[in-house]
Chain A
Amino acid sequence: MTSLALIRAGLTRHGVAHAAAAIGVAVGAMVLAGALLLGSSLRQSLQASALGRLGWVDRVLVAERPFRAALADGLPGRVAPVLVARASVRVTGGSVLGKITLMGVDDRYFGADGPPTGWPGDGFWINEDLQNAIGNNAARLSITVGPAGSGPPRESLLGQAEDATAPWEAPVAGCLNGLMSHFSISEGVGPSRLVVVPLAKLQERLSQPGRANALLADGAAGLDSALSGAIQAEDHGLVLRTPSSRAADLFSRSTRMSGTARSDLFRRLARSEAMAAFGREGAVTAGRLEHYYSRDRRYILVESSGLYLSSARVASVERAASKAGVPSAPVLVHLANAIAETGGNGRQIPYSVVAATRPVLGLTPPITNLGDDGIAIVDWKDSPLNDLKSNSVLEVRYYPVESGGSPREAAPARFTVKAHIKQEGMAIDPAMAPEFPGITDRAEMGQWSAPFPIDLKRVASHDETYWRDYRAAPKAYISWEAGQRLWAGRFGDATSVRIGIPEHESAESTLERLRTALKQELVASESGLVFRDTRAIALAAVANGSDFGMLYLGFSSFIIMAALALTALLFRLGLERRATEIGLLKAIGYTDSHVRNLYLAEGAVVALVGSFIGALASAIYTPALLAYLSATWPDPSLGALLRFSLDPLAMALGGLSAFVAGVVAIIVSMRDLVKMQPLALLRGVTRLGESVGPARSRFGWLAAILTALAGAILAAGSPFLPPGEPRSGGFFTAGLLFLAAGLMALNALLKQVLQWPLLASSSWPLFRLAARNAARRPARSLVTAGLLASASFLLVAVEAFRREAHPPTDADALAVWAEMEVPVLVDPRTTEGRTALLDAIERTWRDDPAEASRRRSSASALLDRISLIPLRLAGEGEAGCLNLTRPDQPRVVAAPAGSLTVADLPVAARMGGDTKPLPALLDEVAPGAEAMVAGEASALTWILKKAPGDSLCINSSEDAVRVAAALHDGPFPSELLMGESAFLRMFPQTEGWRVVLVRAAPTDIPEVLALLRTAWADKGAEVVPLVDRVNKYLAVENSYLGTFQALGGLGLILGTAGLAIVLLRAVWERRGELALLAALGYRPGRITLLVLLESAALLLAGLGTGTIAALLAVIPHGGVSRSSLPGLALTLLACLVTGLLAGVLSAAMAQRARVIEALRQDA
């Protein structure tokens, strides 16, 4: 016979044994290829989803403030201007669906597809994702539109605190389809709920005619340079006003005025010396007005569409002016509620503008050397302060700039009178203060419509006269520095910059030069006027997302090793049955290596078949895993997103690795067998001496104890390791050490068991006999017990990580999370905020006044019992486990200083060196230092890949923050937390509070939910118990853990199968012994018991070692939650029962053979 024939004969004759060994390799290949497939499927699903949300768009520009939609016109390639706003939809039945993007688009948005049929039609176009969320038959929608980011900062004194935006109701015009129907302007994957309307309609709705706040581009070459050439100062939110444009504005406004207002205006203009030269009242013409402005107001005014100019902007403008060779002066004005003499005299001027500036001849009044506390008073007719002596002390009372909605007067600022200014020149220029609709356009102070309280009783007739003549011209000046101290802040440092026009130059040519200089000085990124490589960012987010495939592979290694061990065991058992054959081959002169190669060739075929089948099976296994993930994932949209993708490379790689590992396992398994003496083999001896003699086990015990000790040290220390990978690593290493110690101890025990006496004086002789039987083949017993031990270890250890947040029991605990699309602008902790809330409740019941007042008073009582904590929110990227990608701009929340306590923020790990309480640390603002953030440990580790002490960038200007602490089951599972002042420094444009946390007693929670849902329905508020929110994120972890446990379960099956095979084999080998016992008069039950005891011993040793190792490792981490104990116990019990059944089965099979035949065969 040739070798090939021998191999073929071996394969066919021992088909069953080989098939069993092949199953081991197949399981290994399936798990290995499955993990790889899982990883590639996840990656591809996420990538498909991320790219699906981009459509034709490669690059996106999102500006902080609206810019000219026309900016898109001159840019190369396809560029679509869009106006984007956050929105929420109120679904019939009253529930609110948030996180909706409302976009105004024109035809360009739809790309090559062109607009859908029926576009624009009448009403809202929605996409499939939104339709799925609201149900199919919503014919009309009521949409609450978030702010568009223009006008004065809404939290500033002059901001419109209360939203005038009534919900926008319109029919559904159609459902979008095609390439751009899943578009999302924000990063991420998964569904994108979209409402699309024609651009012009949204421009009108948001009062942004001709404007857009985002550009979508296909990334044609030259886009960036074309953009920077096309950007004008206006696109940065700057307003440039020349004398003639101001004159024209004024004249055109005058034409819209009523007769008296118009004549008042012209009387004032005529009263000024300069105008008088042009003639009498009524003779004011547009031309004359322009001439006057061009001569007596020779400056260009640079203002902001958002009222305030940031310090960077002021610096840019001033640099541009100096480049253009013209003088500039920044001005910061504020409304003083009173400029009052200190002391009992009580002389004061109500509601007057105070300006801070750097004096420049021709641009500002001549005020010099005011110093930090000097004030210059403009003298005007009947001014109560006219005869104030130098060095008298004045108080300026004012509302702080950042006091939207609920202004409280700041501590009065004291100034010393340093100068009186004559009422002439720039001192009577109303343009010192920017135009502010509702105030500067009113003819009388009595007609002011201000967003803050005004006490008109304090306004005297001479005040009205001044207003009528000079309107907002400041009545006092302070130094620029003093102004900065009082009124500069996150909104900006100045209200305008004045630019001089040189004597012999026209305003237009100065403007031209200024524009050119501004183009160089204004930084496009400060206004968000840069295209981001959205496609690249999306791909990077997916690529940097948590690599679940690798993680899964790590966990799978347990099972892969178990499967290989099983293969080795099975192959070995198969070979042992063929010992005589091996002996014969050797006896007739085959060399060791020849024999080895023969069997290796058989083994290779076995491994090849196994790994091939396993690789194929992974195409079933992986979809099952994906289905499990989708089913247990708390966000149902994952199911729609996850697609199994058949990756032949991953399968081949998995199969190949399993093949190689299988061959290695087979080589190891037969290593000593082929080296045995042919005579011994011929007699059927398959071991190099059955080690029944006295064995040294003292060293074994010592090693076990030392290993366990190392595990104990690591386990005790691992809670102090940084969270995430190091800590889990520590935990698992400790667990593995315990496991190894357990198996070493088992090994030592097996050696010792062989020497347990079986004498009459020793009890349980049958058990001792069974234990001795188990110890006779220590390698087999160890492999089986080891399989069971690692599977049960995995099962129990993973269970320890399963977590669930529990509803708070503390009356003071954070209990409710409300998140809205339209921010709360009035601090709900203030009386005004509370009133606004109660008013909203009352409004809901306006048809039933009695009910309304009843509701109001019960709401008021509830508000007395609870406390509301308003949180700022920025960033769109989920920084939590629900996000499978890595967010580029993670969600960040900020709580007001002092509002969160140590108890609210359960710290898992801190940055080294800090001992300050976490809330205090976050609130701290050291100038120039990195801001501190805290985040949920799991999100930091897996999603952001950061640990305490690391830095990360969280906004578009790439400002870095440092992770101060990782939280464990904290209230922010999906966002970073920072202090409010640091937050406002990084996100100065943030308006209001989009999240409100509520401290409430558990019994109050339902009422709180109802209250806030009603009161903030028009803000698109989603209000949920905090514990539900936290649990949603924990459910993600549990979902992952479930898949790991499925692996553990698979391991248990493998282990139990291994046990059954080992037992059957052992019983078959020992059928003669068992027959002898029968002949000696052992009852059948007693023989079964003997076999059963042996299997029980192995089962208990395996399961016990694994479980105890896992529990020991888990204890320092808080142990296994009580709720999971029954499930665990049940699983282990099921495994025990199965193993025992295998024992019974093998015992029964043993006794089916007739005693005499068995005895005879044994010979």
Chain B
Amino acid sequence: MTALRVQNVVKAFPALSGPVPVLAGIDLTMEPGEAMALTGPSGSGKSTLLHVLGALEKSDSGSIDLDGIDPSALNSDALADYRNSKIGFVFQDHHLLPQCTVLENVLSPGWAKKRSHTEAIALEARSRDLLHRVGLGSRLDHLPAALSGGERQRAAVARALLLKPRLVLADEPTGNLDRTSAFAVARLLLDMIAAENAMLIVVTHSMEIAGLFPRRYRMEDGRLAPA
């Protein structure tokens, strides 16, 4: 049973000298609970791939099928819903809302839609639970500014998982972290994915971190190559 099927996805960016191909035919399949690491030189298109998968960017051609949905066929509202319910993003910069507490930040994807009271209560319980699981159980009411980099990134992981996404996309989540924190965050991601039975793609420059992942790919010339 394949949960994610990416076929021949092509993406080029316009430039003065004509389109610059970035993704030159990506093919990828993933099963639930699978985690993969993506490496490659800077500017090779790793982020672009994550953005296309995460429906932040449209591909030029090719198809994506996540649980039977192809984001390229969706309008902007549907795309938003798709991102909201299917995708969990973890950015290199944590991108936490500075005016909201850790708990509120984790909850924030929940506000994208009107929800019933029971739903909302359940979400809050889940965020608390997630935060406990990422080791921030005692910092629920802290503002992001009061956290360390690793803690912020763990909060971002919790936020990405709130709505039980099918696919978690992490773009260099450990890039700004010291080695210990980086490992902690990477392990956390793997553990959580396993527990939620979701899929995970992590972009990283660190071969050590990549080594933690069962599947490893390298981005080369716009194509995925096993690493």
Interface residues of A (CB under 8 A from B): 690, 692-693, 754, 757-761, 765-766, 769, 772-773, 776, 1072-1073, 1076-1086, 1155-1156, 1159, 1162-1163
Given contacts A758-B107, A761-B124, A1081-B85, contact A1159 B112 (CB under 8 A): no
- 29 of the cross-chain contacts (CB-CB < 8 Å) are A693-B143, A754-B99, A759-B124, A760-B110, A760-B121, A766-B111, A769-B111, A1073-B97, A1076-B95, A1076-B97, A1077-B112, A1079-B83, A1079-B89, A1079-B95, A1080-B83, A1080-B89, A1080-B108, A1080-B112, A1081-B82, A1081-B83, A1081-B84, A1081-B85, A1081-B109, A1082-B80, A1083-B76, A1083-B112, A1084-B76, A1085-B77, A1086-B112
> Which residues on the B side are within 8 Å of A1083 (C-beta)?
76-77, 80-81, 112
Given contacts A692-B143, A759-B107, A760-B110, contact A1080 B84 (CB under 8 A): yes
Q: Roughly how many angstroms separate A693 CA and B57 CA in the complex, as a whole number?
A: 37
Q: Roughly how many angstroms separate A692 CA and B85 CA in the complex, as a whole number?
A: 31
> Which residues on the A side are within 8 Å of B56 (C-beta)?
1079, 1155-1156
Q: A772–B95 contact, CB under 8 A?
A: no
**Other contacts beyond A1079-B83, A1086-B80: 13, CB < 8 A:** A693-B143, A754-B99, A759-B104, A759-B107, A760-B107, A760-B121, A761-B120, A761-B124, A769-B111, A1076-B95, A1080-B112, A1081-B83, A1085-B77
> Which residues on the B side are within 8 Å of A692 (C-beta)?
98-99, 143, 145
Q: A1081–B121 contact, CB under 8 A?
A: no
> Which residues on the B side are within 8 Å of A690 (C-beta)?
98
Q: Roughly how many angstroms separate A380 CA and B211 CA in the complex, as a whole number?
A: 156
Q: Roughly how many angstroms separate A1155 CA and B120 CA in the complex, as a whole number?
A: 27
Q: Roughly how many angstroms separate A1162 CA and B92 CA in the complex, as a whole number?
A: 12
> Which residues on the A side are within 8 Å of B109 (C-beta)?
1080-1081
Q: B99–A1163 contact, CB under 8 A?
A: no
> Which residues on the A side are within 8 Å of B92 (C-beta)?
1163
Give the Cβ gap from B178 to chain A, nearest Cβ, in Å. 19
> Which residues on the A side are within 8 Å of B112 (C-beta)?
1077, 1080-1083, 1086
Give the Cβ gap from B127 to chain A, nearest Cβ, in Å. 8
Question: Main secondary structure on chain B at its contact with chain A?
Answer: helix
Q: A1084–B111 contact, CB under 8 A?
A: no
Q: A1156–B57 contact, CB under 8 A?
A: yes
Closest-by-CB residue of A relative to B101 is A758
Give the Cβ gap from B157 to chain A, nearest Cβ, in Å. 14
Q: B121–A1163 contact, CB under 8 A?
A: no
Question: Which of A761, A1077, A1079 meets B54, CB within 8 Å?
Answer: A1079
Contacting A at CB under 8 A, from B171-224, are: none
Nearest 7 Cβ contacts at the A-B interface: A1081-B84, A760-B120, A760-B124, A1081-B83, A1083-B80, A1082-B112, A758-B104
Q: Roughly how many angstroms separate A1073 CA and B107 CA in the complex, as a whole number?
A: 15
Q: B77–A1082 contact, CB under 8 A?
A: no
**Size of the chain B interface, CB-CB below 8 angstroms:** 43
Q: B98–A1072 contact, CB under 8 A?
A: no
Q: Roughly how many angstroms separate A692 CA and B76 CA in the complex, as a whole number?
A: 34
Closest-by-CB residue of B relative to A1155 is B56
Q: B57–A1162 contact, CB under 8 A?
A: no
> Which residues on the A side are within 8 Å of B76 (C-beta)?
1083-1084
Given contacts A1081-B87, A1081-B112, A1082-B112, contact A758 B100 (CB under 8 A): yes
Given contacts A1077-B112, A1083-B112, contact A759 B77 (CB under 8 A): no
> Which residues on the A side are within 8 Å of B51 (C-beta)?
1156
Closest-by-CB residue of A relative to B80 is A1083
Given contacts A760-B110, A761-B124, contact A1084 B80 (CB under 8 A): yes
Closest-by-CB residue of B relative to A1075 is B95
Q: Is B103 in the interface zone, CB < 8 Å from A? A: yes
Q: Roughly how many angstroms separate A1078 CA and B82 CA in the complex, as a whole number?
A: 11
Closest-by-CB residue of A relative to B97 is A1073
> Which residues on the A side are within 8 Å of B120 (C-beta)?
760-761
Closest-by-CB residue of A relative to B57 is A1156
Closest-by-CB residue of A relative to B86 is A1081
Contact pattern, B 31-61, Cβ under 8 Å of A = 1, otherwise 0: 0000000000000000000010010110000
Q: B84–A1082 contact, CB under 8 A?
A: yes
Question: Which of A757, A1156, A1162 meets B93, CB within 8 Å?
Answer: A1162
Q: A760–B123 contact, CB under 8 A?
A: yes
> Which residues on the B side are within 8 Å of A1076 (C-beta)?
95, 97
Q: Roughly how many angstroms separate A936 CA and B89 CA in the complex, as a whole number?
A: 75
Closest-by-CB residue of B relative to A773 is B99
Q: Roughly how many angstroms separate A137 CA and B49 CA in the complex, as a whole number?
A: 91
Q: Roughly how many angstroms separate A1161 CA and B91 CA in the complex, as a whole number?
A: 13
Give the Cβ gap from A759 to chain B, nearest Cβ, in Å. 6
Q: Roughly how many angstroms separate A207 CA and B86 CA in the complex, as a whole number?
A: 110
> Which residues on the A side are within 8 Å of B103 (C-beta)?
759
Q: Roughly how many angstroms separate A410 CA and B102 CA in the complex, as a whole number?
A: 102
Q: A765–B111 contact, CB under 8 A?
A: yes
> Which residues on the A side are within 8 Å of B100 (C-beta)?
758, 769, 772
Contacting A at CB under 8 A, from B142-158, are: 143, 145
Q: A1078–B80 contact, CB under 8 A?
A: yes
> Which residues on the A side are within 8 Å of B108 (C-beta)?
1077, 1080
B51, B97, B98, B145 — which one has the most chain A CB atoms within 10 A of its CB?
A: B97
> Which residues on the A side are within 8 Å of B54 (C-beta)?
1079
> Which residues on the B side are within 8 Å of A754 (C-beta)?
99
> Which residues on the A side are within 8 Å of B121 (C-beta)?
760-761
> Which residues on the B side are within 8 Å of A1073 (C-beta)?
97
B80, B115, B120 — which one has the most chain A CB atoms within 10 A of its CB?
A: B80
Q: Roughly how many angstroms separate A1083 CA and B111 CA in the complex, as a whole number?
A: 11
Q: A772–B124 contact, CB under 8 A?
A: no
Q: A1081–B80 contact, CB under 8 A?
A: yes
Give the Cβ gap from B111 to chain A, nearest Cβ, in Å. 4
Contact pattern, B 117-144, Cβ under 8 Å of A = 1, otherwise 0: 1001111100000000000000000010
Question: Which of B83, B91, B110 meets A1159, CB within 8 Å?
Answer: B91
> Which residues on the B side are within 8 Å of A1082 (C-beta)?
80, 84, 111-112
Q: Roughly how many angstroms separate A1073 CA and B76 CA in the complex, as a whole number?
A: 19
Q: A1163–B93 contact, CB under 8 A?
A: yes
Give the Cβ gap from B137 to chain A, nearest Cβ, in Å. 16
Q: Roughly how many angstroms separate A301 CA and B70 CA in the complex, as a whole number?
A: 127
Give the Cβ gap from A1156 to chain B, nearest Cβ, in Å. 6
> Which residues on the B side are within 8 Å of A760 (C-beta)?
107, 110, 115, 117, 120-124
Q: Roughly how many angstroms separate A1154 CA and B52 CA in the complex, as a whole number?
A: 14
Q: Roughly how many angstroms separate A972 CA and B101 CA in the complex, as a whole number?
A: 68
Q: Roughly how many angstroms separate A754 CA and B143 CA in the complex, as a whole number?
A: 12
Give the Cβ gap from A760 to chain B, nearest Cβ, in Å. 4
Closest-by-CB residue of A relative to B122 is A760
Q: Roughly how many angstroms separate A1155 CA and B117 CA in the complex, as a whole number?
A: 30
Closest-by-CB residue of A relative to B146 is A693
Q: Roughly how many angstroms separate A766 CA and B109 CA in the complex, as a whole number?
A: 11
B93, B99, B104, B107 — which one has the most chain A CB atoms within 10 A of its CB?
A: B99
Closest-by-CB residue of B relative to A690 is B98
> Which residues on the A side are within 8 Å of B107 (C-beta)?
758-760, 765
Q: Roughly how many angstroms separate A1084 CA and B75 CA in the complex, as a whole number?
A: 11
Q: Roughly how many angstroms separate A692 CA and B99 CA in the complex, as a whole number?
A: 7
Q: Roughly how many angstroms separate A202 CA and B110 CA in the complex, as a whole number?
A: 97
Give the Cβ gap from A755 to chain B, nearest Cβ, in Å. 10
Q: Roughly how many angstroms separate A130 CA and B54 CA in the complex, as a whole number?
A: 85
Q: Roughly how many angstroms separate A766 CA and B143 CA in the complex, as a whole number?
A: 18
Q: Roughly how many angstroms separate A769 CA and B82 CA in the complex, as a whole number?
A: 23
Closest-by-CB residue of A relative to B82 is A1081
Q: Roughly how many angstroms separate A758 CA and B103 CA in the complex, as a whole number?
A: 9
Closest-by-CB residue of A relative to B85 is A1081
Closest-by-CB residue of A relative to B125 is A760
Q: Roughly how many angstroms separate A1081 CA and B91 CA in the complex, as a whole number?
A: 15
Give the Cβ gap from A946 to chain B, nearest Cβ, in Å. 59
Give the Cβ gap from A1148 to chain B, nearest Cβ, in Å. 13
Q: Roughly how many angstroms separate A690 CA and B82 CA in the complex, as a whole number?
A: 34
Question: Which of B80, B84, B95, B110 meets A1162, CB within 8 Å?
Answer: B95
Give the Cβ gap from A399 to chain B, nearest Cβ, in Å. 95
Question: Which of A769, A1084, A1086, A1159 meets B95, CB within 8 Å?
Answer: A1159
> Which residues on the B side are within 8 Å of A1162 (C-beta)?
93, 95
